[in-house]
Each structure stands twice: as C-alpha cells, then as structure tokens.
Structure 1
C-alpha cells in the first residue's frame, strides 16, 4: 500500500507565524509545505497542481466571500481538509462548524490563536487520509479564485437561466 504524502498549505499574513507553522508541522511529519503570505502566493502554489492533505487559514474572518471561497477550495479536490485559526466566540465557532457541515466542507476544527503543538497534533491526528481522491482530477476552477478577489475585482454577476418546460 502506497504511503500518502502529508502536504499542507498555510495562509497567514504574518511571516513570523508562518515560520512557527513550519516548525510545528515539521514536528508532526508534514514535510511538504506551501507557506503563503497572501492569496497571490496561494494561486502560485496551486498552479503546480499538487494535492494537499491540509489547508490552514490563519486569521480567517468569516464573511460571505470568504465562506464561498472556502467552499470553492473544498470542491476543487485540491485540499482534503481544512483548519481555521483566529479569534472566535463560541457562537462563531459553532456557526462555522455548522456552515461547513451544511456545505460539505471538510473542516477539522476552528481554533483560537495562538495554537500549540498539542492542539495541532490533536487536530491532525483526526485527519482522514483518502487514497481514492488521488485518482480524481483537480478542477481547473481552483486556479481562478474569483471569490478571493476584492469586491471591485469580481467579474459581473450572470443573470439566471431561463427554464424551458
């Protein structure tokens, strides 16, 4: 049976925290890392069409665009599971987990920062590694990420289609 490479991508706007994530993840045997300061770096990393076991979004701020982007990333078949890190109330944490469940986003956990090695170990030990997904193509839409663009950069909305009876 082939081993699955544990590959992680971290999106965090603070270089020092990115380095901390690299140390923590290496201790947990994630040696293939893409550390991204911004969405442009995420796009560049995804252009290599690699699959990731884990996507960590540090300082995730839940809003309509961010949630839709997370859903698009989930549906892209590039990321298997997600971890959100930030400062959340119990109600926000519960709401994010419910949203993820309803939208079939494989969200492992929603953690308050700073996170420790013990917390990250607990989360990653609950990961499910999927062999069958390696055979599924990565969807092309993962390169576009229009959902991540600032509001002024979004393409115009399309009108609905007409239904024919």
Structure 2
C-alpha cells in the first residue's frame, strides 16, 4: 500500500467554530473538482469573499458531509483541537506473487492531499476580523495551490492511465479523518 513515489500536497488551515464546517466542505469539494475525471457538474462555494469550485454530485456531497461531520464531532467532543483530513486517490493494479502469478488487485496511491486543520477562537472583534482576513488569504492560496499543482507537468503525469471511464471517478478515493492522531470513524 505504501508507495513513496506518490505526490503529497498539504494545506494548513486555522479555523474557528463558525467557519470550520463550511471551509472544510469547500476545500474538499475543490480538491475533488480538480481530480475527478468523469462528467462533473460544477458548483461554487463562496466563503469569506473567496469563490471555490465544487462538485454537484449527491454521492460526493454525502461523502464530504460525512467526513466533515466526523471531524467536527471529534474536535468538539475531544481534547485535541487539531486534526487532519486526508484525501487519497488510488489506482487498481494487478497484484502478482513472487512467481508472477496473478493474485487479484491492489490499490496503490498516486496522489494524496492532506488538510491540517486547527480550531482556534478569536478573543475579540478585532482579533476575529484579522482572523477572517488571514483565513480568506489562506483559502485563496489553497485554491492557487490546487490549480498550480493539477495543471503542472508533475500534477498531470501523476494521473495514471484511465482505463475505466464509468462514473464520476475512474479511480478509488479514500478520505480519512484523524483528530489528535487517532483515526475517526463516521
């Protein structure tokens, strides 16, 4: 399962209670928008005057909402106010034994997006205003990172050959949530 050759892109976010769910949903949708290769119906998310692309697909929306809710519950109910949401794109490859005998398929990651999120509460209205300005700049930078990576030579060559064109994604997607270093089930 571990493939050291896959690319990892990290996005660091500092959030408050009022913006956490909305921002995480938008960031996850933006990643999926840039990495789904099927017929994608677009939508947009406007957060703090930053417009982020998204995917209008019931299955993807449910997956994103479940993962964001799991993150929120773990952060709200636990001691740690830091966590990660990891989006891993995988390809299915034939698995062979030592004697080149076909042993089924294995899922091998070709790209991973790590969203590090930390919850903080601004102390005053002035702090809150500065916090929101910084968060808007961080979201703008995150979208730029997505655009630059997915349109770069490295980002394009990371995508494996598409052999199955059915559905919204020809590749398996795994989204994992961990808070305080512990994986959270939804």
Larger radius of gyration: 2
Q: Same fold by TM-score, threshold 0.5 exceeded?
A: no
Structure possessing the higher relative contact order (Cα contacts under 8 Å, 6 or more residues apart): 2
Give the alignment's TM-score, normalised by structure 2: 0.27
| Higher share of residues assigned strand | 2
Give the alignment's TM-score, normalised by structure 1: 0.29
| Higher share of residues assigned helix | 1
